[in-house]
Structure 1
Amino acid sequence: MDTIRVLLADDQRLVRAGFATMLSVEDDIEVVGQVTNGQEAVDFAASQDVDVVLMDVQMPVMDGIRATELVTAEGRGKVIILTTFERDDYLFDAIRGGASGFLLKNADPEDLVAAVRAVAGGYALLAPEVTVRVIQQFASQLGGRNSPPAQRQPSPEQQQKQALLAPLTQREKEVLTCMAAGLSNAELATKLSLAEATVKSHVSSLLAKIQVRDRVQAVVFAYESGFIRPGE
């Protein structure tokens, strides 16, 4: 397996040092750079071969949200957002900006390593705690738009998304509902009494049908389409 090249972007030296120490003991992971702001992250990713960027949100010069947008738009690497929930309102913006995962800064070393490997392998990752906060933030953004279904007229964008839901099987809809609640594949398998391999197959199928690239985007889709409504 090729070595996963990781860039650390955080304005706190101790945080960078801690993550570097956690990752440096892994044979298949190499920390190729450490930067202190979003602009440096964008510049580094543009000039060096980077697989995964561990991106802080609040940084000087350029914040992690804008940096994520620029890095992912150019295909310069996958981004995992690191958060302490000091700015919950950034999380949903980061999803829209192309982030592939969210991780708490106090995550266990094994969770950090697993997240880097998962995202490098093309998967998306939402820590359960982060999923809850993203959903809460999304609900607050919707605000007054949560009128009763009988009075709500779907927007043209919502109608397009709802059309993509039509081909989903009942099982795929159950999987999407569970994904929106933040369940992992293992938790999905237990809840739905399925083999984990079967769950992975359902997830891949529904992602293709609703035309999103990963689980993170699927959660966004579930809410934006009206398939899941905040508070349900």
Structure 2
Amino acid sequence: MKITIIIADDNSFIREGMKIILNTYEEFDVVATLKDGQEAVQYCKNHSVDIALLDVRMPVMDGVEATKLISELTKAKPLILTTFDDDEYIIDAVKNGAKGYLLKNTEPERIRDAIKSVFNGHTVLQDVVLDKIKSSLNAATERESKADMTQFTERETSIMTLIAKGLSNKEISKTLFISEGTVANYISSILSKTGLEHRTQIAIYYLTGKGK
């Protein structure tokens, strides 16, 4: 079966061009192109969609709000595709359930791989996007967490602190003198307790006290 995709972008040249590109891959079926977030949400509510490829800045409803509603109300997985002029939206998009965040100048093959990865349950954030997130959060890492930490063990709290500082699982394992597998197990426990979906959301939750 093909992966069904919708594309929402207020620029008709971009959305139709992306449709042509994605339909060259035999594993994809672009079932609709839409001009704003509201249309994207409505389409996902009324049809079976695997991936919702969303721009951020759109009239009527932007991609961040559309991401939130699509995540809450449908089975479609939102994947943001935008420009770096929109980097102030990154954290909000991730908090609202975006499964990936890619730049529009990304090579088609990487976009294809990202869509397939998100479809298979993974989260895709380009390194340059992760750097933006780390930069945005960096000023807050020395402050105490705003989240309710009472539900977490001391070890889980330590790991959340290090995630918020941008450390990888490997770096956390070296810092805490535990295996990477143990770190992964603790992260799974944190995700279960918070209802979050990936480590970037953990960092945002730790620093802002806000989850999805």
The TM tier, using the shorter chain, reads 0.7 to 0.9
Measured on the aligned residues, the alpha-carbon RMSD in Å equals 3.3
Question: 1:207 Cα shift?
Answer: 3.7
SS of 1:26's partner is: coil
* 1:55 matched to 2:54: yes
- Counterpart for residue 115 of structure 1: 114
- Counterpart for residue 229 of structure 1: none
- Counterpart for residue 230 of structure 1: none
- Report if the CA contact (8 A) 2:101-2:126 is conserved: yes
- Report if the CA contact (8 A) 2:53-2:78 is conserved: yes
Give the letter for the 2:135 counterpart. Q
SS of 2:43's partner is: helix
Aligned mates of 1:131, 1:137 — CA distance in 2: 10
Shift of the 166–87 alpha-carbon distance from structure 1 to 2, 3 Å rule, reads same
Aligned mates of 2:107, 2:100 — CA distance in 1: 16
Aligned mates of 2:165, 2:97 — CA distance in 1: 18
- Report if the CA contact (8 A) 1:100-1:216 is conserved: no
Question: 1:64 Cα shift?
Answer: 0.7
Question: 1:223 Cα shift?
Answer: 4.8
Question: 216-225 or 98-107, which moves further after superposition?
Answer: 216-225
Q: Superposed, which structure 2 residues align to 1:1-232 within 5 Å?
A: 2-139=1-138, 142=140, 146=142, 152=144, 154-155=145-146, 157-160=147-150, 163-164=152-153, 166=155, 177=163, 180=166, 205-211=185-191, 212-221=196-205, 223=207
Question: 1:17 Cα shift?
Answer: 2.2
SS of 1:79's partner is: strand
After TM superposition, what 4+ stretches of structure 1 lie above 6 angstroms from structure 2?
A: none
- The C-alpha deviation readout for 1:6-52, integer Å capped at 9, x for no partner, is 11010111211222122112221111110000110011111111111
Question: 201-210 or 104-113, which moves further after superposition?
Answer: 201-210
Structure 1 vs Structure 2: percent identity of aligned residues? 29
- Report if the CA contact (8 A) 1:82-1:105 is conserved: yes
Question: 1:165 Cα shift?
Answer: 6.2
Shift of the 165–114 alpha-carbon distance from structure 1 to 2, 3 Å rule, reads farther
- The C-alpha deviation readout for 1:173-222, integer Å capped at 9, x for no partner, is 5xx759946x7xxxx78xx9xxxxx97x6676344211132344244356
TM-score normalised over the length of structure 1: 0.72
TM-score normalised over the length of structure 2: 0.79
Give the letter for the 1:63 counterpart. D
Aligned mates of 1:100, 1:165 — CA distance in 2: 29
- The C-alpha deviation readout for 1:126-148, integer Å capped at 9, x for no partner, is 110011112222345x4xx845x
Question: 1:224 Cα shift?
Answer: 5.2
How many positions carry a matched residue from both structures? 200
